[in-house]
Structures are given as C-alpha cells and as structure tokens.
C-alpha cells in the first residue's frame, strides 16, 4: 500500500531529488517549502505517513517546526536533514522527537532505508496506540481499519448511534469483526472508559446462563461458595455486548427482556432485584427475523434489541480494504512476535486480494499470523500462504549445490538458447538499443527462467529485492510474474 511522504525543504532542487528517490520506491510524495506549510498540512488536513524535514530553513526552522508538530499532537515519524552532522545537533533533534537523521547529501539507499524504518516505527506506534485505547475502553471509529464505501457507512451509522443510548444490533457473517464495531460504539460514547463486558451467548453452559448473566448469592445452589455479581452488574455504567444473541434459549430470553425493560436483574438466590445501568449492544450471524417467524426467538425481545441495526460487511464486499488490513495485522504481529516483516510482495498481495475469504477478517488475520511465523524474508511471498497459493516454500540449498527441479535451480545451457533473441543489444537497423529496453528484456527473461521467484531473480541479477520490485513496476512486468504462477 503506497505511503505518503512529506518532504519539507526551502530548496526546490533538494525537494525534487528526494521526491525522485522516494517515488522510485513506490511512495507518494508531497512537498512543503516552509515549516509553517508543513504544520498546516499535518494539523489541518492532508497528513502524511512520514516526514523528511530540513533543519535549516528561513523563518520557522526545522527544529522549531518539529517541536510545534509534537506539541500539536502529531506523532508521524520525522527524519531530519542537516548539513551539520554534529552530535549536539543530532541529540537536540532526537530530544525534540525525530526518529532518524540524514547528513546532506544523503545517498538514495540511505534515504530509502531510513524512510522504510521510519514507516515501520510509525506502524508500531500506531498499533501500540490502538492496543492502549482498546485496553482503556477508548477505541473509536477512527481506529477501525478500512475506507471502503461499506466501512464508511458502518462508521457513519456507528458514530450516530454512539451519541445516544439506543440499543444496537450488529449483524453479519461470522468473522466480520462485530465485536470490533461494538468496542468502537462503546469507546465513542459517553460511556467510553467505563467497563466493556463481552458475553458469547452461544458459549454459555445451559445450566449456568442465568448465574453468569445476572449473578448469584452465596449458597444459592450447589457449588455457589461465593457471591457472584454477573455480567450485567460487571458492566454497570458501561456497555454489555451480547454476542451471538440468537443462541440464547427461549427461557432466558424472557428474563433478558425483563432486565432490559426494568433496568434491573434478579440474582439467583437473591431476595430483591438489583438496579443496573448498562448500554446493550448485541450481535448475531443468524437471521433473527426468520427465527422469530419459526418461533426460535421472541418477537418482543427482537424488537427491543433491533432498534438501531448495523450490518457489518463481508470481507469479499470490501476488497479494497484488504491491503490496509494486511498492513495492520503485520504491524500487530511484528509487535507481538518480535518480527520485522515489512509487508507483502506484490504477487502475494494480488493473491490475497483475489481470494474470497469465506471466514472474513478473522480468517485473514489468522492467515497473516501464520505467514509471519513462516516467513524467512522481509516481504511475505506467495509460498508463505500455501493454503491459498498451493505453493510450498522452496527447499534450502545445500552448501555448494543447487537443488534440481526447484525454483532456484542453476540455469541449464538450453535456458540461454533464446537469450540472444530475447535480450538483444542492437535493434533491427544495427543501432544500440537503450539500456532501459535491454534491462526490461533481461528482467522479463529472468522472471520466466526462475518461475517468478523474486528472491532468486534479484540474487542472480545482483540487485536488491526492493530495486527489483521497483523495476518490475516501472517496466510494467507485473503481468509476467502472474503468468509464472
């Protein structure tokens, strides 16, 4: 997924040079000629995923700009550029909130690596912030991943519902993220920061449902050695999320309806009702109206819960969100597992976007988790997703030998047979062809010979993988890679 880099420098030549380097890496670049212009963009609209900031500028200096950005709550990673590489300058920049620094003139490789590391640090920080907000019950709809039309509708409806006390019923297939929406409803409401209690109604033991929901007194039944408050009382002041509400038995539906109508619960063995103040959010992957018609769900309870319905879309109906979701899961699992996976290779991303995902976001999440554990390269490859691609990881080569019949086999002499005609140095009139034309033919031929195995192609051509991917994009060779699969 392309990232936006803000280049801040009063020298237009330096801005253009940085832009050329970053665009070759596939980034989108925006420019600012002054610190004030950069602050306006970052605080009033537009934003960026990383900032390259020159320290020496007329008017507002880079250091002052950095301090104002941090004071304004902008946490975007910043790399400072300076012609003075003194220790004191670097220390001050780091203390002001910079992630890295370049001494001018910086090589393209240094800029690329620095921006890549800054983006990864930004992903880590965003994920830590998201997890912190979740733990504090402050998740908001801004934290929901995805900007597809279907998700924008969910966010708009959810934001409206959060401002009221209205009961919400979230519907959708299993694995679409109904609990994530429920947490955002809670965090965006005036109850944010108060308890959020989730109950899976389909997982409750039949003989303990009443006790778990409404609580019990000590000695109310065999095994009740202590008083238990129950989920309603635990959630008092906050939100009670009743997941898989369609699984609740009919006799418990009656008691749940009374609790919702009266705002009080009757603990098992209790002598008097207990008042509770909870906001009810429920969810189901069933057709509750159909269950009402068949007598499997109480009609009065259905209308009590279904006051404000929100339908969570299936992942196949929001494919444009898949790259952002993958990026989110990679950042999360990098953090949890101590890995440094940078992202998905283009061919792997295309594979994941084309898949139907019957298990929805949960299936994608588990698939990315497994791939990160399997991955032995900075970029996830199609063979890291064997259940989808049907490919297995290439066998490691023995020292001093190359495996026969594998994707990384040595070239046989017949492989070079068409090379002279495929990678011609001169054109039909006998004139030298351009380096760009020769390079395109050579890369195309290598893709075919090595069956699209990009790591091996890069190694044989003597270039880095990121450089190879950039050249593939520039030369329009993505289709050649797909055909090798």
Task: Dump pLDDT digits (tens) for 82-113.
Answer: 877 667 877 888 888 898 888 888 888 888 88
The pLDDT of residue 403: 42
For the chain, the domains span 4-133, 141-313, 318-389, 413-484
- As a whole number of angstroms, the distance between CA 318 and CA 321 comes to 6
CA-CA distances (angstroms) from residue 172 to 143, 176, 184? 20, 7, 16
Cβ of 170: how many Cβ atoms within 10 Å? 28
The highest-level CATH class for domain 141-313 is alpha beta
pLDDT in tens, 166-191: 999 999 999 999 999 999 999 999 99
Q: What is the pLDDT of residue 275?
A: 94
Q: Which CATH architecture describes the domain 318-389?
A: Orthogonal Bundle (1.10)
Which pLDDT score is estimated for 480? 75
Supply the pLDDT for residue 354: 93
pLDDT of residue 330: 94
For residue 108, the model assigns a pLDDT of 86
In this prediction, residue 427 carries a pLDDT of 64
Q: Which residues of the chain have pLDDT under 50?
A: 399-421
> What pLDDT is recorded for position 50?
93
Residue 298: predicted pLDDT: 96
pLDDT (0 to 100) of residue 458: 83
Looking at CATH, the fold of the domain delimited by 4-133 is given as Rossmann fold (3.40.50)
Q: How is residue 70 written in tokens?
A: 């941090």
Are 75 and 49 a contacting pair, CB within 8 Å?
A: no
For residue 268, list its beta bridge partners.
216
Tell me if 4-133 shares its fold with 141-313: yes
The pLDDT score that the predictor gives to residue 149 is: 96
92, burial (CB in 10 Å: exposed 0-12, middle 13-18, buried 19+): middle
C-alpha 78/C-alpha 75 separation (Å) is 9
């Amino acid at each position: 997924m392309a990232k936006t880099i803000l280049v801040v420098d009063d020298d237009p030549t330096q801005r253009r040079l940085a832009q050329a380097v970053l665009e070759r890496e596939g980034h989108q670049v925006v420019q600012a000629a002054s610190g004030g212009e950069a602050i306006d963009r970052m605080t009033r609209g537009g934003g960026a995923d990383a900032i390259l900031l020159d320290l020496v500028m007329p008017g507002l200096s880079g250091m002052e700009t950095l301090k104002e950005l941090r004071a304004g709550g902008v946490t975007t990673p910043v790399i400072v550029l300076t012609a003075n590489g003194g220790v004191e300058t670097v220390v001050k920049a780091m203390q002001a909130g910079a992630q890295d620094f370049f001494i001018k003139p910086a090589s393209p490789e240094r800029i690329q690596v620095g921006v890549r590391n800054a983006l990864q640090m930004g992903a880590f920080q965003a994920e830590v912030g998201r997890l912190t907000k979740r733990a504090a019950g402050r998740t908001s709809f801004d934290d929901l991943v995805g900007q597809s039309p279907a998700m924008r509708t969910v966010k708009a409806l959810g934001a409206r519902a959060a401002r009221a006390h209205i009961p919400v019923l979230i519907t959708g297939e299993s694995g679409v993220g109904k609990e994530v929406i429920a947490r955002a409803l809670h965090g965006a409401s005036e109850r944010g920061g108060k308890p959020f209690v989730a109950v899976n109604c389909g997982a409750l033991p039949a003989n303990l449902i009443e006790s778990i929901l409404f609580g019990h007194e000590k000695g109310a039944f065999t095994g009740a050695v202590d008083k238990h408050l129950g989920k309603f009382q635990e959630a008092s002041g906050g939100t009670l999320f009743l997941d898989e509400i369609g699984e609740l038995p009919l006799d418990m539906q009656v008691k749940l309806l009374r609790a919702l109508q009266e705002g009080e619960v009757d603990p098992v063995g209790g002598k008097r009702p207990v008042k509770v103040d909870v906001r009810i959010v429920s969810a189901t992957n069933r057709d509750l109206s159909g269950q009402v018609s068949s007598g499997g769900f109480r009609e009065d309870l259905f209308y009590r819960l279904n006051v404000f319905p929100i339908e969570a879309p299936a992942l196949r109906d929001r494919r444009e969100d898949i790259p952002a979701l993958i990026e989110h899961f990679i950042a999360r699992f990098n953090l949890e597992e101590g890995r440094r996976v940078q992202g998905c290779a283009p061919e792997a991303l295309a594979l994941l976007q084309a898949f139907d995902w019957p298990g929805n976001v949960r299936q994608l999440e588990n698939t990315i988790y497994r791939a990160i554990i399997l991955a032995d390269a900075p970029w996830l490859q199609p063979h890291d997703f064997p259940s989808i691609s049907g490919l297995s990881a290439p066998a490691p080569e023995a020292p001093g030998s190359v495996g026969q019949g594998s994707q990384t086999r040595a070239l046989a002499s017949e492989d070079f047979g068409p090379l002279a005609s495929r990678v011609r140095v001169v054109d039909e009139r006998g004139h030298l062809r351009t380096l760009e034309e020769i390079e395109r033919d050579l890369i195309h031929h290598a893709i075919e010979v090595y069956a699209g195995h990009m790591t091996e192609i890069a190694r044989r051509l003597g270039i880095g993988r990121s450089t190879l991917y950039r050249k593939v994009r520039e030369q329009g060779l993505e289709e050649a890679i797909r055909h090798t699969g």
